[in-house]
Amino acid sequence: MKSILIASVLASLLPAQTITWTKDHEIFVQERTTQFASKLSNQMVIIGRLGLSETRPAVVISNGGHILSPFLPSIDGEDAPYLLYQIDGSRIELETVAENSKRFVSLLKIKKPPANLIPVRISKPVDHTVIVPTTAPIISIGEPPSLFVDHLEFAPPEQAKALRLDSTLYTRGAPVFDLSGALIATTLKGRETNTPALMIQWLIADFPELDTIIADESVSGLENLPLVPKTTKEEAKEIVVSPLTRARQRFIQSSHPNPLPCVLVSNEGAQATHSVIGTIIHAEGLILTKASDLGPSLVVRYKGKNYPAVLLSTDENTDLALVGISELGMPVVRWSEELPVAGSVVASPLLLQESTDEMVAEATSRVGNFSHVLEVGLPSVHA
C-alpha cells in the first residue's frame, strides 16, 4: 500500500505527458487534405439565400439531391428561397425541406440534381484532427471552399453530444469532417476560445427529417494520429488551446528557416505592436511587406535593432510595398516555382512582441491550407 501511495504522489509531481507531432503526422495530414480537396466539387456546393449577400459551403447527403446546409435566416422573416450557386455564376432555387434554427442547419433539395453528385459518408469521430471547409466569398463563386485543419481541445466523454474544436473562425452550421472525408459533426455557436460541434448522430436525433435521407453511419479506418488526453470537466474548463495544436505548432516552427527571413515594419513613432511583418527578399536590405498600413516615415526592427527605412515602391493591386534598409548579409526567403496542390498545408510565421520594444526570439506560426488561384492569377491561401 505504501509503495502504491508513493507512486501516486510521484506521478502527481511529474509533468503531464507531452504530445509529439512528427513529420510523418504532417505528411499524413497533407495527403488526406489534398485527397479531400479533390473530391469537394462532387460532394460540396455553395449556397446562399435570396436577399442575402453571404454564402456558405454545404454538403450533399443523398443521390436524390438533398443538401445539408448551414441555416441562413431570411430577411424580415419572409420565406425566401435558398439558392445554389453554380460555376458560371448563375443561381438555382432550392426546395427547403426543413430548417432547424436551434442547430443552425437546413435540409434542402435540388429539384433536378446532376448525375455527378456524390453523397458524403457519415461517421463517429475517431481521430482528434479534423477538416472544416470555410465560407467562400461571393466574388469567387464556383471556386472550391477553403479548408482548415483543426484539432479537438480534449477527448469527448463517452456520452458527449458535442466536440470542442480549437479554432473560433467558423460560422454556425459548418460541416466538420474527419481525415477520411466522412462527415462527423456540424458547428454550433462559437465561444470566445473554441467552437462546439454537434456530432452527426445527435444532429440526426434532433432533426428527424435527416433519418431517412442521410447515409448509414460508418466508422473510418484511419491510421492513428496523436490523440488529446481525456480530461475531467474541471480540467476541460481550463483548456484554452488544444495540446494537439500546440504540438503541431512546435513542429511547424521547427521547420521554419533559422534565422527567419522576416522583420517587423512600422511607422516611425508607432508602437511595435502596430507593426506588420515584412519578408526579406534581398540580402542587402530589400523587404516586401503590406502597403496600406505604411506611412511616409518607416522603421524596420531586425535582430533587436531599429533601422530607418525607405519606401521604394508600392503596388495597389496586390497591396504590396518594397521597403529598403541599410544592412548587409540578411537571410533571404526562398521562392517556390510551383503553386502547391489544393489542400496542401501552408504556414506563415508571426513575429510577436514581449513588449512594445522587444520581439520574442521564437516566432509562432499561422497554419492553413492552400485553396485555389483567383481569376486575376494570384494564389488564394486560407490560413
**Lookup result for grid cell 484532427:** 129
Same domain, 279 and 377: yes
Half-sphere exposure at residue 314, Cβ-oriented, CA atoms within 13 angstroms: 11
* Type and span of the H or E element at 350: strand 345-350
**Whole-number pLDDT of residue 40:** 81
Expressed in angstroms, the distance from the first to the final Cα of the chain is 53
| Domain stops at, among 207, 236, 251 | 251
CATH number, domain with residue 273: 2.40.10.120
Q: What pLDDT, on the 0 to 100 scale, is given for residue 144? A: 64
Helix (H) or strand (E) holding 108: strand 105-109
Q: Is residue 220 part of a domain?
A: yes
Could you say which of 199, 227, 251 is where a domain stops? 251
In 182-203, which positions are buried (b, 16+ CB within 10 angstroms) versus exposed (e)?
bbbbbbbebeeebbbbbbbeeb
| Burial class (CB within 10 angstroms; exposed 0-12, middle 13-18, buried 19+) of 281 | middle
Same structural domain, 68 and 215: yes
**Could you tell me if 220 and 261 lie in one domain?**
no
* 225 and 262 co-located in one domain: no
Q: What does the pLDDT read at residue 142?
A: 55
DSSP string, 11-38: HHHSPPPPP---HHHHHHHHHHHHHHHH
> Which pLDDT score, from 0 to 100, does residue 307 have?
93
Measured in degrees and rounded to the nearest 5, phi and psi for residue 268 equal -60, 130
Over its length of 383 residues, how does the chain's per-residue pLDDT go in tens digits?
Answer: 333 333 333 333 333 457 899 999 999 998 898 888 888 878 888 899 998 888 899 999 998 999 999 999 988 767 899 999 887 778 899 999 999 999 999 999 999 888 888 899 898 888 899 999 886 554 455 566 788 899 999 998 888 999 999 999 899 999 999 998 999 999 999 998 999 999 999 999 888 888 888 866 666 667 778 999 888 888 888 888 899 998 998 888 888 887 889 888 989 877 666 788 899 999 999 999 999 989 889 999 888 888 999 999 999 888 999 999 999 999 999 888 887 777 777 877 776 654 444 544 456 677 777 766 655 555 555 44
111 and 240 in a single domain? The answer is: yes
Count: domains in the chain? 2
The pLDDT, as a whole number, for residue 17 is 52
Q: Which domain holds residue 218?
A: 17-251
pTM above 0.95, yes or no: no
Contact 111, 95 (CB under 8 A): yes
Q: Give which of 198, 122, 188 is closest to 162, Cα–Cα.
A: 198
148 and 192, same structural domain? Answer: yes
* Amino acid 38: pLDDT: 83
Instruction: Tell me what pLDDT residue 66 has.
Output: 94
Is the Cα torsion angle 218, 219, 220, 226 positive or negative in sign?
A: positive
Is the domain of 229 the same as that of 324? no
Asked whether 345 and 367 are in contact (CB, 8 A), the reply is: yes
> What cell was used for 198?
454537434
* 10 within a domain of the structure (yes/no): no
What is the distance between the alpha carbons of residues 43 and 45, in angstroms, rounded to a whole number?
Answer: 7
What's the chain's length in residues?
Answer: 383
Do 236 and 266 lie in a common domain?
A: no
Last residue of a domain, one of 225, 251, 277: 251
* CA dist., res. 195 & res. 132, Å (int): 12
